[in-house]
């Protein structure tokens, strides 16, 4: 009898702990998402392109995106994808689109912002892609003797019916426009310049551009450890009252007030949270800036991500309160207890307002020397249910893992589009991919 009980207990223990091991394994290793890759035929002379935010979906479902150039003499390129036919169309290079043409000046290298449609036009801004990184951080690159400095980023529109571009305004002081959003209700474009972080607003009716100055000390042109401050990469518009929000690396939230046409610091609120980590805003990195943030029309609040930690938080402009919600990093990252793979964090955050679900692309840090490679993961967060889900790592159709995506848009049928580095014909390229959760 004792032997039978002992044996039964042993079997029970094996079943229990074996099942626990299997469940733990399944929990720590979510399923794989298989991606479709596209070939945009980005100019090979530009080298490995980039893509930060530069994507959007039009009302008819067409996907518009930009691949950025790091070369001083090759502009970034704009493309479209018809999701039904999977046909890619090259629309224009950024020099042609802005009217810069063949002028010997540093090229319009980037669209560092999302495309936004209003009344049959896409709105966006342009930025430079040519840097000097010898110090370990991005500074303005000095062009060759025959080339002039970068002439400044443009606020742009693209007429979807006629296929024509219009330059609406140019940023002052030869700076790029690295951050952009639009208040479609009031016909206003907003931007932050790089490298000093000047806040710009452009009114479509009056055609007036106004520079409201910088809240970033010397910005990313400043001295590391002193006047350096990272520029916020997302501006959020409150469509209810026309207010516009952005952050600075010290954790402050700043508000542009439509009624007074001024920028103010939101009082008694801060993103300097212990959960996010300890950061020095004067050092290289996003510090306490939100890395990505979106407006939620369902509860009239802002949902943002702290870059390094990957923590999701909610800011209520009415109550002026910040609530930390949950860490949206991948399960492998959480299991390792590490910060996100990219020190800045990720820009791939989007909201499906119909289902009240956030979509987020994040990396998967693995222990140094492990010799392993893992694709970026798709995370969803159901706001109403406060439910996190890791849908798994993204694998390209060549079997390689996708990695470090900095853009995300949801197609009308639920397909997700982003841009990632692809190894093709023996070289690395940046290009469009799609997948479904």
Mean pLDDT of all residues in 203-229: 98
Least confidently predicted of 7-21, 133-147, 396-410: 7-21
The residue with tokens 């007036």 is 208
What's the pLDDT at 368? Answer: 61
Tens digits of per-residue pLDDT, 285-341? 999 999 999 999 999 999 999 999 999 999 999 999 999 999 999 998 888 887 877
Rounded-to-integer distance, Cα 40 and Cα 250, Å: 40
Check residue 402 and report its DSSP letter: P
Q: Where are the domains of the chain?
A: 35-435
% of residues, the chain, pLDDT over 90: 82
What's the pLDDT at 366? Answer: 64
What's the pLDDT at 29? Answer: 61
* pLDDT confidence bin for 71, thresholds 50/70/90: very high
Residue 164 has pLDDT above 80, yes or no: yes
* pLDDT confidence bin for 18, thresholds 50/70/90: very low
Rounded-to-integer distance, Cα 150 and Cα 98, Å: 13
Residue 14 has pLDDT above 50, yes or no: no
* pLDDT confidence bin for 372, thresholds 50/70/90: low
Residue 357 has pLDDT above 60, yes or no: yes
Check residue 7 and report its DSSP letter: H
- Global pTM value: 0.92
The residue with tokens 């009980």 is 5
Check residue 50 and report its DSSP letter: B
What's the pLDDT at 364? Answer: 79
Nearest 5°: the CA angle 240, 205, 263 is 50
Rounded-to-integer distance, Cα 60 and Cα 104, Å: 37
The distance of Cα 88 from the centroid of its chain, to the nearest Å, equals: 22
Map residue 375 onto helix, strand or coil. coil
Which CATH number is 35-435 given? 2.130.10.10
Rounded-to-integer distance, Cα 245 and Cα 181, Å: 10
Contact 67, 49 (CB under 8 A): yes
Residue 413 has pLDDT above 50, yes or no: yes
| Structure token digits, residue 241 | 């009252």
Rounded-to-integer distance, Cα 135 and Cα 139, Å: 8
Map residue 25 onto helix, strand or coil. helix
Residue 1 has pLDDT above 50, yes or no: no
Sign of the alpha-carbon torsion through 265, 267, 272, 276? negative
What's the pLDDT at 360? Answer: 98
Distances (CA, A) of 428 to 42, 50, 421: 11, 11, 6
Residue 12 has pLDDT above 70, yes or no: no
* pLDDT confidence bin for 98, thresholds 50/70/90: very high
- Taking alpha carbons only, the member of 202, 122, 204, 127 closest to residue 163 is 122
Tens digits of per-residue pLDDT, 43-67? 998 888 899 999 999 999 999 999 9
Mean pLDDT of all residues in 141-168: 96
| Structure token digits, residue 186 | 């009031």
């Amino acid at each position: 009898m004792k032997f039978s009980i002992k044996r039964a207990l042993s079997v029970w223990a094996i079943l229990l702990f074996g099942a626990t091991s299997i469940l733990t394994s399944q929990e720590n290793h979510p399923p794989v998402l298989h991606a479709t890759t596209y070939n945009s035929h980005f100019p090979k002379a530009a080298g490995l392109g980039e893509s930060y935010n530069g994507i959007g979906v039009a009302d008819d479902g067409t996907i518009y995106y930009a691949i950025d150039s790091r070369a001083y003499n090759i502009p970034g390129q704009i493309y479209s994808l018809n999701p039904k036919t999977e046909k890619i169309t090259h629309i224009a290079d950024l020099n042609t689109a802005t009217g810069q043409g063949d002028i010997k000046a540093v090229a319009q290298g980037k669209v560092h912002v999302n495309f936004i449609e209003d009344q049959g036009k896409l709105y966006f801004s342009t930025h430079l892609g040519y840097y000097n990184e010898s110090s370990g951080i991005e500074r303005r690159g000095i062009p060759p003797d025959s080339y002039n400095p970068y002439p400044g980023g443009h606020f742009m529109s693209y007429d979807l019916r006629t296929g024509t571009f219009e330059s609406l305004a140019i940023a002052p002081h030869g700076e790029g426009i690295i951050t952009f959003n639009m208040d479609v209700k009031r016909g206003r474009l907003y931007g932050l310049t790089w490298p000093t972080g000047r806040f710009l607003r452009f009114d479509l009716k009056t055609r007036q551009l106004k520079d409201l100055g910088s809240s970033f000390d010397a910005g990313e042109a400043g001295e590391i450890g002193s006047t350096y401050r990272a520029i916020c990469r997302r501006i959020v518009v409150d469509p209810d009252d026309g207010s516009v929000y952005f952050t600075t690396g010290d954790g402050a939230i700043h508000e542009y007030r439509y009624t007074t046409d001024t920028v103010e610091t939101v009082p008694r609120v801060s993103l300097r949270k212990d959960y996010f980590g300890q950061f020095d805003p004067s050092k290289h990195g996003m510090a306490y800036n939100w890395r990505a943030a979106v407006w939620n029309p369902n509860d009239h609040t802002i949902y943002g991500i702290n870059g390094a930690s990957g923590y999701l938080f909610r800011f209520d402009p009415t109550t002026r309160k910040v609530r930390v919600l949950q860490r949206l990093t991948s399960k492998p990252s959480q299991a390792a207890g590490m910060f996100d793979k990219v020190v800045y964090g990720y820009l791939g955050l989007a909201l499906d307002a119909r289902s009240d679900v956030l979509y987020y692309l994040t990396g998967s840090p693995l222990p140094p020397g492990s010799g392993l490679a893992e694709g970026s993961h798709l995370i969803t967060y159901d706001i109403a249910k406060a439910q996190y889900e890791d849908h798994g790592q993204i694998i390209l159709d060549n079997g390689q893992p996708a990695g470090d995506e900095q853009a995300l848009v949801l197609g009308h049928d639920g397909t997700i589009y982003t841009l990632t580095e692809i190894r093709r014909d023996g070289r690395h390229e940046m290009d469009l991919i799609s997948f479904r959760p």
